[in-house]
Structure formats: C-alpha cells, structure tokens
A and B are shown apart, each in its own frame.
Chain A
Amino acid sequence: MRREKLKDHFSETRLFTSRAIFSLFFILTLLALLVTRLVFLQIIDNEHYTTLSNDNRLKLLPIGPSRGLIYDRNGIVLAENLAAYRLEIIPEQVDDMDALLLQLDTLINIRKQDLKQFKKLLKHRQGFDNIPLRFRLNDTEVAKISAIQHRLPGVHIAASLNRHYPLADTFAHVLGYVGRKDVNDLKRLDPTNYISTSHIGKTGIEKQYEAELHGYVGYQQVETNAQGRLIRVLEQTPPVSGKDIHLTIDATLQAIAKSALGKHNGSIVAIDPRNGEVLSMISNPGFDPNLFVNGIGYKAYKALRKNDSQPLYNRSLLGRYPPGSTIKPFMGLAGLKYGITNPHHEVFCPGYFIIPFGENRKFRDWKKTGHGSVNLDDSITQSCDVYFYELALNLSIDRINPFLKTFGFGSKTGIDMPSENSGLLPSRAWKRKYRRQPWFPGETLNTGIGQGFLLTTPLQLATATAIFANKGRPVKPHLVINKNESYNKSDIDPLLAQVQPHHWNYMFKAMKHVIHSARGTARRIASKNYIMAGKTGTSQVFGIKQEEEYDEEKVAFKLRDHALFIAFAPIKNPRIAVAVIAENGGSGGKVAAPIAAKIINYYMAKNP
C-alpha cells in the first residue's frame, strides 16, 4: 500500500501563493530586462541606429557633369557632345516580353547579338532596372519608337552624350581624345568627382585640360528599398558643367596646313611670335580620334599601331629631327655676336672643308661643285655648308651650346600639352656623360650645319624661329587662349641682349634673300604682297660615308633626306613664325618651303 500524505488544502494554498509571488518577481525581472534592452537600443544608441537606418535607405546618386566644349580661336567647334540614343526596357512594366520584342523588331532592326545580350541582362538584373536593348539609334529609329511609345509601356529611349570631334584627323594630335576611364586613371583621379564620369581625356588638350573640361559632379539623394528600387528623390545638387576651352589654333589655317602637307609624313607648327599663340600644329598622318571615344576595336587599333607612318605619334611634340640648314641663321647670329665673323668676311667654298691641322677628312658641302667665294649673306641665301663649317669650328661647341639654348633648343618649350620631347642640344659635358667620349672638332662642324647630335622637335624649331623673329624676346608657345595670363613679359636672355640690332637686321635681310632674291633656295615662293624671311633645310636621315655619293633616285624612300623650312613674316613686326618638316621630302626649298608659303599666304591675307 502506498502511503499518501493527506492533502493539506491550507498549506498547499500557501505554497502556491509563495510560488506565485516569486513568479511575479520573475515576471517583473524579465520584463525589466527587456525594458533595459529597449533603453539601450532606442535611447542610448538611438543616434547610431538612426544613422545605420538612414545608410540603409538613403543613397547618393551622382550625376555626371557635361564636358566642356573645345573651340578654335574663331569659335569653330572642335570637340562637342552629341546625344546618342539607346532603347531601354523596364521588364516589370512589360506584360508580354516576347510579343514586345517581336513588335520592336518590326519597327527597328534588332540584331541577334543585341537580343542575346538583352536576355542575358534580363536574367541578372532586377525587374525595375533599365535594360538596354539597342544602342546608337538613328534619328529615324528614334522617331519611329517615339511616335508609338505611349502604346509600349516599359519602353524608353535614353539619351547620353558622346564626345565627337567633327574635324576628325585634322585636330587628332592637338585635341587628343577622351576614352573610357580605366584602372590607371582611377588612381590619379578624384574618385568623388569622377564617380559617374565614364570618359576622361586620354591625350592632347583633352588630357591637359581635363580638370577644366570635366566640371563638378552633382548629386541626387534618393530613398531606396532593400532591393535598391528608387522610392523617391529627396534632395538634389545639380552638377557644374565643364568649362569651354578656346584654342589659339585657327581651324581654317589648320586645314590649309594639313592639306599643304598632303601625303608627306611630317609636321607643321605655326606660332604668333607676339604672344606665343600656336596658330596651327599638324602632325601627319593623323587619325580619327572618334574611333577611340567608345573603345577602338582591336583590329583597328592594331592597324594604327602597325602602320609604318605611325599615325598615333605626335610628331610636332615628340618627333626628333636634325634641323639641318635651318640652324644656320642661329649660327650666323652667334658668329656675328661673338665677332667670329662680320658682313665682309668671305670664305672660299670648293665643295668641301678640311679641318686645319686635323686629320685629312673632307666635310662635304651639299653642292659638290662648291659656292665659290661667299660671305654670310650668300651662305644663308644659298645655304653654303663650308662657310658654316668654318664658323662653327671658330665658335666651338662651348659657345654654340649656350647660344642655341637661348632659343630653346635642347629644352622643353613648356607648351600646355601632356608630353613633349626636349630634343637634344649636345655639349662636351653631355657627350662625356652619355657617350663616355671626348668631344671631337668634327662634331662641332656637324652641329654647325644642324646635323650630328643636334635634334629638335618641330615645336622647338618653330619656337626658336619665333624668338628669332622677335629679335630675342622669349616666346612661350601655348594652345589655349588665356586672357588672364600675359605672355612674353619675361626679359630677353642676357646673352641675346648682347646681340647688336644691326646683327639682327643683317640676319633678317639674309633670310629675306632666301626667298626674295634670284639665288635664294626658296625663291619660288616669294609673294608680292609681303616680305618673308626664311631658311630652307635638308637634313640627312643617315650619314653618307666618305667618297660616297648621295643620289636621291637610288636611296630608298625611308632613307631620303627630310625637307625643312623655317620662316616668319612680315619681316617688319612678324606676326607668324612657321616650321615645316616633311619627312623624306628631299629638298627643303622644293618641298617644305611651298608648304610654309601656303600657310603664311593665307595668314597674311586674313590678317593684313
């Protein structure tokens, strides 16, 4: 038998009551714990969680600024933003996607690859996203869709701005181009300002003036849900468009220069010596910069890279050419300045020069038969080499180097472009350092006729010509008109300040005779309307060995001499200085001078 304790009603009630009272405390403790938790979350950490909540729902949508336009000096558009239209579909607004695609296909042509890409995106994107179906709609297609758009829910035409260069290859090297920003660009760009910018300047003016052209990004503060769907726009800061840029270049002059250079590879730079404004800058051949804007295809790029003429190479700033005889006016001026020569000094030119007391090496004149007895004026006019061999030898490289330096040879001009070459102005120190050899007198002779180590970019040559035209007043070439900054205010170099006015006048006259005299090497281009000063040049691409003849007909085209010409006009208060280099053009007088004449003729006619 089990013994059961008798149920004691009273004690059981008392037991239950005590347990119930304990339970009450238990209840209150747990609820107090919850309240404490709420105090922590909702009062103490409220600010923190409010921030997190806002971070969740609020998003800043950047709005990219529209890029500044680029004009020439007369307001002709050189770089513009053209609207490009694309067809987009918002899937969730479409009832029957297949039917819609069929209908659109009857309106506009939808290629299979467009459709494939669209269906791929359709799978991966949210239903409220805009999914592009066709890019680059033409006007007819836009019109067709627009006309019945109200009957096509979910179908939109979106416009975006594409950079376009209407003058294409004429300005390819000056303007450069914009391209899609890549990983390298991201490193140097302000990530905030460029957050919604797809294209940035890659070369040329587009790169150099990126900061001005780009503008400032704007923002839209929007509320989105967890899936990222835009609920509403809360606030908006409009973007600031990029600044427009006016180039110093005259588009018409540029076109004339381009056509004057024609099929020649080479470069033309024209500068206004009064203020350093670059009036024209051509590197031939050019290329169509529009190809690069939305990514050039591999094939097209490879073709440009493999082209022997190297169209992508900006010869004006990067090409290094021996200046040839175009260096002679500078050498002549140096000779007068240092008193090495004077207007009455004559030299007999037998067609070659031998260094006195040196090894028995013949330095040739371009004219095999020689020029006979010549003074400095004759030597410039007829481009006698022997005169300048002697002059250079007497000057020595130690005086040639600093004198040429004052005209900007061997150093960068500081033009407002992303890159330029400094050319090469040799010296004893340079040769010792880079060639580990002493300087030989023969090298001074070669320098004296613009050959040997001496190398110059077309821009340097044009700048030097402009400084020459200015009678030594410095010129800082630039491509963008800047009304705030004054150029040419810097002082004349002390070395050039020592050059007597009659020395300048003598050299100007000699250069005038190159064009305006019966024996001038560029007499064919003389104009009746104004007086031009110039100097032809024919520079050797490769050295001719002793006892060897240079025969234009036999030499392969690639090895033919470069044709050069420098000129400024008018001779009184010059307004334009030009350097022309026609690669493998042969004769400077026959090829380069007429090209320069076309440019100067036009410019003088337009700016009388």
Chain B
Amino acid sequence: MQTRMDSPEYRIPLFQQWVQQLHLDFPLLAGLFILSLSGLFVLYSASGEDIVAVQKQATRFAFGFIIMLFLAQLTPQTLRRWSPPLFIIGIILLILVILVGVEVKGAQRWLNLYFFRFQPSELMKLVAPMALAWYLADAALPPRPFKLLVSMILLAIPVVLIAIEPDLGTALLISSAGIFVLFLAGLRWRLIGGAGILLTILAWPIWQYMLRDYQKARVMTFLNPENDPLGAGYHIIQSKIAIGSGGLFGKGWLNGTQSQLDFLPERHTDFIFAVFSEEFGMIGAIMLLLLYLFLITRGLYIAAQAQDTFSRLLGGSISLTFLVYVFVNIGMVSGLLPVVGVPLPLISYGGTSIVTLLAGFGILMSIHTHRKMLSP
C-alpha cells in the first residue's frame, strides 16, 4: 500500500488523502458543506441579520460535523452490533419523556439532562431504521410475513410513543424511515398496495380519534387557508405570498419584504424556505432542490454500492428519509401539504435536526469508506 501510494502515478492530492484517511466521502462532504453554508446565509437574512443566531447555528453545524466524523470512523458492523441496545435505550428514553419530560409549546418532547435538553425522538430517527435493518438483514430477503409483522411492531412502538407526545412531524419521519427499510428489503408490491388501501379505509377513524385538535386544525387550514386568514391560515397565506412574489430571480438577499418586514411567521425555522425562495427566486429554489437531489442520489448510490444487507437497507433508508424532509417541508411551506413540524434539512434554524441529519450522513460515509476491497 505504502509503496503504491508513493509512486508518482498514484499520487493523490493531500486533501483527498485526508478525506480518505478520515473515512469521509468527498462528494457528500462538499454537498453538505455548500448546503450548510448557504443555510447560514439564508439564516442571517431570515433572522433579521442576527449574527448571534448565525453563530449559534454554526456551532451546531460544527458539533454535527464532529458527530458525523465520529460515526464515519465506526464500521457498519459496529453500528449493526449496537443497533438493538440503542433501540432499547431509545424506547426507554421515549417512555421517560412521557413520564418526566419537559413540555414546550404544548408538546412534551424534551428530556432535561441538567446540562442540556435532549429530544430522544431525534435519536430514534436513526436508531429505528438501524434496528429494522439489523432485524431484517439476518434472514434472506424479501422478508417472510412473520418477520414483516415483527418489524411493523418494532416500528410502531417508537412511532406511537412519539405521536402521543405529540410530535406528528417526527412520527411521520420515523415511520417513513422504517417503511423505506421494509420497501428496500423487498416488501411485496401487493402488500404495499394493500397497506395503501387499508390506510385509506382507516383515514376516517384516525382523523376522528387519533389527531389532536391543533393537528386537525392544521389539516383544515391546509385545505382552505383563506377560511382563517388571521389564525392558522396566516402562516400558509403569508408564505405563499413570499414564495410567489419572489418570482424567477427573487428580491435579492436581505431584500425579501415578506420576511424582512415580519409578515412571515416562523421564518427562520420551519418556514425558512419561503425566505429562501422570496430572496433567491425560482432559480435559487431549483438550485437548492438540485443540491438536495445530489445528496439523496449520492446516498442512494452509496447504499447500492454497500456490501452487506444491513448497510444497504440503512443507507437507502437514510437517503430516502432525507427526501421526505425536503418534500414535506417545502410541500408544507408552498401550500401543497398541511403544516407539519418538519424542518428544511440543514437550512432551518434549530439544533437537534442538524445533528441527527449529519449523523445520518456520517453513517453513509462509514458505509462507503469501510467497504472491503474485493478486487484491487
């Protein structure tokens, strides 16, 4: 190895050498770097030129990148071994949240760990697909009905625990992460179709008995925001105005009137995409979507290149869950979907999702950089 790398024809630039030694994937790293940097720029505008908020967010990115770097060093085998215990710990923490959690804005999502507050549901976003991948990777694929049933139950436990906090957004993300694992594991199309029909049938009872009033209100508002222009509909109306008035080229950085003049609520957190597309227009928004597309397809490619089932399932699920973030957030901000608390990945202000997302990419990097070279 040493001699080959030293030879002139195999000389690699120093930076790339570092990247390899640190088990990083350069395309992913570059994409994440551009994304987080543009995120900071938009945040500066969305927060009303609040440099402190930008610094805080940058600190979170730094922390997230460290976690990513750490996870990239672990081998997929290690991750696989740790999956069951982490899953059990996650479930225990979720139960603790319900028992002794801290309530913020009507939802009990946080555990107070004295030195910092922690959302166990965020941990679950990675641990749930890990556990499912671990469980399904043992046996041959596609999974047999019994395995499928157990997987569904394994998935349902955290989803239900999170849904009753209530945190619909995270429950949605975790269930999609789990469903992606099952889908990639070869879940039969017949079953997928059947589940779809079942869900349609169950939609009414779910609406009637499982959704909280504010969640129902959000759906109603989504269906007709003009009904409640000053209440719940205000968010959607204002964010549509922001996006729509951005036009093709946007109003320019720091020049979005909807955001700069306070018309847009939650503009530095969940609705930051409205600021982005108001100020950078459709050109900017499409470039952002292309960047996301690149990260997702790169993740999917890494999963496809993986050498074991666990890595493939986990990697694919992480990549597709990233898509769900993007689609649900932008869909909600642009009025395609009801308002669900899902941040715009790596752009929205807020700590935990950044760390979780970057941790996911750390896992992808680990999968990609720990492949055994079968052929030189």
Contact = CB atoms under 8 A, between A and B. Distances in A.
Interface size class of A (residues with CB under 8 A): 35 or more
B140 A12 contact: yes
A27 B296 contact: yes
Nearest to B184: A19
Contacts of B258: 53, 56-57
Interface in B278-336: 281-282, 285-286, 289, 292-293, 296-297, 300, 303-304, 309, 312, 316, 320, 323, 326-327, 330-331, 334-336
Contacts of A57: 257-258, 261, 263
Contact of B261 (A12, A45, A226): A226
Interface stretch (B26-34, B216-224, B238-246): B238-246
B189 to A, nearest CB: 10
Nearest to A12: B141
A601 interface: no
B264 to A, nearest CB: 8
B243 A38 contact: yes
Contacts of A43: 247-248, 282
B369 interface: no
A417 B285 CA distance: 67
Interface in A13-34: 15-17, 19-20, 23-24, 26-28, 30-31, 33-34
Contacts of B316: 16, 19-20, 23
Nearest to B140: A5
A26 B258 CA distance: 33
B275 to A, nearest CB: 13
Contact of A42 (B244, B289, B304, B320): B244
Interface in B129-159: 139-142
A52 B239 CA distance: 11
A23 B238 CA distance: 33
Interface in A52-89: 52-54, 56-57
Contacts of B257: 53-54, 56-57, 223
A46 B277 CA distance: 12
Given A12-B309, A16-B184, A35-B289, A23 B261 contact: no
Interface string A215-242: 0000000011111000100000000000
Nearest to B180: A23
A27 B263 contact: no
Interface string B178-192: 001001101000000
A49 B297 contact: no
Contact of B241 (A5, A34, A49): A49
A38 B331 contact: no
Contacts of B331: 33-34, 37
A33 B247 CA distance: 18
A49 B244 contact: yes
B289 A8 contact: no
A261 B288 CA distance: 89
Contacts of B335: 37, 41
Contact of B297 (A8, A27, A30, A223): A27
A227 B262 CA distance: 8
A33 B312 CA distance: 27
Nearest to B309: A12
B261 A231 contact: yes
A39 interface: yes
A19 B261 contact: no
B304 A17 contact: yes
A225 B281 contact: no
Contact of A23 (B139, B184, B245): B184
A514 B167 CA distance: 105
**Which one of B257, B297, B335 has the greatest number of beta carbons of chain A within 10 Å?**
B257
Interface in A453-473: none
A147 interface: no
B293 A31 contact: yes
A231 B323 CA distance: 39
Contacts of A7: 139-141, 309
Contacts of A28: 293
Interface of A is mostly: helix
B304 A37 contact: no
B318 to A, nearest CB: 12
B244 A48 contact: yes
A284 B78 CA distance: 108
Contact of A38 (B142, B277, B292, B296): B277
Contacts of A16: 184, 186, 303-304, 309, 312, 316
Nearest to B304: A20
Contacts of A42: 243-244, 246-248, 277, 281-282, 285
A50 interface: yes
Given A30-B327, A57-B257, A223-B261, A19 B183 contact: yes
Contacts of A46: 244-245, 247-248
Contacts of B297: 24, 27
Contacts of B293: 27-28, 31
Interface string A332-373: 000000000000000000000000000000000000000000
Given A27-B323, A50-B247, A52-B245, A39 B282 contact: yes
Interface in B227-259: 238, 240-248, 257-258
Nearest to A41: B244
A227 B292 CA distance: 35
B184 A20 contact: yes
A6 interface: yes
A52 B247 contact: no
A182 interface: no
A308 interface: no
A23 B263 CA distance: 38
A224 to B, nearest CB: 7
Contact of A53 (B186, B242, B289): B242
A491 interface: no
A4 interface: yes
Contacts of B247: 42-43, 46, 50
B261 A8 contact: no
A39 B293 CA distance: 18
Contacts of B183: 19, 23
A115 to B, nearest CB: 32
A449 B248 CA distance: 90
Contact of A34 (B240, B244, B334): B334
Contacts of A231: 261
B327 A4 contact: no
Nearest to B290: A31
A503 B246 CA distance: 89
10 contacts: A16-B303, A16-B316, A27-B300, A31-B292, A42-B244, A42-B246, A43-B247, A50-B247, A226-B262, A227-B262
Interface of B: 139-142, 180, 183-184, 186, 238, 240-248, 257-258, 260-263, 277, 281-282, 285-286, 289, 292-293, 296-297, 300, 303-304, 309, 312, 316, 320, 323, 326-327, 330-331, 334-336
Given A27-B300, A45-B244, A53-B245, 14 more contacts: A16-B309, A19-B316, A20-B300, A33-B331, A34-B334, A35-B289, A37-B331, A37-B334, A41-B335, A42-B248, A43-B247, A56-B238, A225-B261, A226-B263
Interface of A: 4-8, 12, 15-17, 19-20, 23-24, 26-28, 30-31, 33-35, 37-39, 41-43, 45-46, 48-50, 52-54, 56-57, 223-227, 231
A-B pairs, top 7 by smallest CB distance, nearest first, are A49-B244, A53-B245, A226-B262, A225-B261, A5-B140, A41-B244, A42-B282
